[in-house]
Structure 1
Amino acid sequence: MKTLPSATNSERIVIAAPLMREDALPEILAQLRPDDFADRRHRALFETYRAIHEAGAPLDLPTIVRELERSGNLETAGGKAYLADLIEAVSTTAGLDHHIGEVKTAKQRRAFLELSDRIRRAVDEGEDPESVNTMIRDAGVKIVSARRSGVVPVRDAVAQAVKEIEASTKGDDGGAIETGLIELDRKLGGGLRPGELIIIAARPGMGKSVLAANIAERCSKPVLVFSLEMTSSEIGKRMLASAGRVDYGKIREGNLLDGDWERIIAAANRLSGRRIFFEQRASLTVEDVCDVAERHVLREGVGLIVVDYLQLMRTRKRGESREREVAEISRRLKVLALDLRVPVVCLSQLNRESERRGGKGEDKLPWPMLSDLRESGAIEQDADVVVFIFRRSMYSKNFPETDANLVIAKGRNSRLGIVQVMFDGRHQRFTDAEIPPEWS
């Protein structure tokens, strides 16, 4: 019979601690559950402690024995003799947090082994692969989330906040991913932050996919791109145009000169060394995105996820209204960012009404607003950051083709406002306004 992982010594210390320290019980009750313990005696004692604590009674040996007798669990808990042995065997409660962590880690290992047994049984019994895949995803996320969850006392929250403030004063961006656009990164507090859902939205033709490809190309960490609209080779051509400063029109038409080929080969060599992964299935569901993302974050160390774009995605549920479906997609993407501790950049369309209403501002043009997010207000609610791309030359000949604005309309940890940038359509690039793009 297979022996499941356990942390026997740590379990004993954790269970004995409340009998030796009054302040240990609330700490243990806040961080653990009965099924975190492999030893059934410790599960029974934990449940007894909790019942006594909820009743407001003192936690001492006579009270514990009475509660165990009342609930019929005295024998399950090892009897009076085990309680006496427990106190005698554990001489110190030093490092209680460490031992609580060991108990939780052992529980997680048992959960993964139990999941592997469930998968094997499901496959042996001929379960549909889609059902098995859903079981793996849901169980895996539940196990990892349970490990990360826990009540955090205010002293720990404040201590962590002070560390982050101190780090930011020293130029530490807290693991934020830089977009390569200096002013945008500054307003975003350093860049795209782990755990955030960032929505980049615009009307068609404004450059959503270009900006997303630029961010992926410039990212120093492994990137996973979900493209529901373009093939990986199409994205590759855009990246080559940007990295090699080669006219994108020439690349599409195949009308290249020797100098163009030299720049393409040099750019291809640079990009080949980057760890950028493409998932290009056109029929991806949000559940597929979560499955692939979790796998690549664990296996490849992916630090940024890009989804192009939200309105082309579906869910595996059928029969729901499109608004509810989009709400489910945005919620799942936000949970994905939190669970995997990476920024998720999702592109989104704006509705046509944004162009039909009267313009605003001095230029009287239809600048986008949060209410223009297409199909669901849930996108606005779930997003940590919303950035609109607005190119005035699309509506007025009074502005050059290079004119572009990134409107930070929502930012939980960002400064709202407009970032002026330059759009280089020829080379498929957005650049800082003060740094003119190379038109070679």
Structure 2
Amino acid sequence: MKKRELLPHCPDAERALLGAVLLDNAAWPQVAALSPGEFYLDSHQKIFATIQSLFKAGTPADLVTVAEELKRSAELEAMGGASYISSLTDGLPRLNNVTHYVRLVKEKALLRRLVYASQEIAKRAREGPENVADLLAWARSEIPQATSSNGIAAGVLLSQVEPERVKWLWRNRIPLSKITMLDGDPGLGKSLLALEIAARLSRGQSLHGDDPRLHGGSVILTAEDGLADTVAPRLVAAGADRNRIVALKYAPDKKGEKTVSNIPVDLPTIEAAIERVGAKLVIVDVLMAYLPSDTNSYRDQDVRLALTPLAEMADRAGVAVICIRHLTKAPGGSPLYRGGGSIGIIGGARAGLLVARDPEDPSLIVLAQTKSNLGPPAPSLAYRIEANSDGVPYIAWKGESQQTASLLLAATAGDEEERGALAEAKEFLQQELESGPMKQTELKLAWRKAGIADATIRRAKMILGALSRKEGVGKDGYWLWELREKAKGAHIRNMNTLGKNGNSDAGLTPEESDAYSKLFKGAHAKGAQEPMSTLRDQECVEN
């Protein structure tokens, strides 16, 4: 026993991780990177394995459910009873340290494997006689295996990977085991189109231009449509076999129900629903409603924390996942950048689709491809939204279309969308600066990555009254941007709150102040009322 106690381990980190998950299941996606064997104490191994099995079954893991599960397997009393499970949450460190604790537990497990490997090498060397060359070769192979995760050699030799054909839900449009984004403005039938696909799948009817037919169930996550007055009638109108389709309630404030409001936390519930109906399709409508509340949808690292586990679930379950998004209001640009949120969202998908009205025949809506990583481009398809005798809408296909995603979006560019771009820029700044000041250089990279023009950001900054201030001096100095309501009083007092010509330009860099002052003079000479709307090359943001 003493020898075991001397082996490297960190019981506090193990307790913190288990307690973090029991208090808040949102910590699970990070902790799930561990395996039971990486915990040192037997009791911790069993508790972790129990939590793991509960999530796999789609059941929340908390103090009560874990204690009951361990009691059922007659393991609870041996580890100190329910009071020990409760004690895991005592004095719990901050949840934002979970990643650090995971690394600690993994490092200690690695050190233990090194100890075990070294002991075995020493034992065989002492025992002899043995061919020294063979022993040395074995020892050289043993150390790399011990230092890799779970004692398995790192990586996969591609010579050991059997090539597979891509499997499709809808050939060359929607791959199985992957995420597909479906983007479009409201009112163009994105949700209706997703239900049309689910209906055809439920009765084994091929999708447009596809053969052979695929037969399976679907799981629907809808945050915007009612099940009784919208989803169910539309499925009936599309001829669906509703015994093959299950909907998961959206209820972010309800506890203790099998509801779904958070990806990735609620993935076990989604997987249980997939198993229930033998699903081949999962519809997430709309994606933004299911991202955690603290997710900044404009930050790649934030959205990837949600989408990576979703992609892994799709691959594990062999289902196609369709995530529906609304378009941004920014005009022009690549169709890839027009879906809401960070470019990391479409980056995490293997396929992308867009719906938009046909500029040559406004009665038609066109389904066009924006991204296809796994197959050749597919032709665009036209459809109309028609209604049955009960007034319930359904998709009526009208054949192929010559319109592409780029042509469709180019046709909708105009003054109205330019105003929309300004609204999006304001929303972007508010999200980015909500948590505090941000360096101008980092912020600029973020807005350009989001496809927002420099000039639009400058206008949004002025309208919001966002502030700029200089930190440091000389070459070490840098500019910070922050929201006025978030700025400290002392910071505001140190800023220029009245421009050279009496116009309010609080929080501008010197370059900005000069540009607006010059423009202010020129605009008033011409009798203009809103000089900021005509800013051009003089503006502040450096290239």
- The higher relative CO (CA closer than 8 Å, separation ≥ 6) is in 1
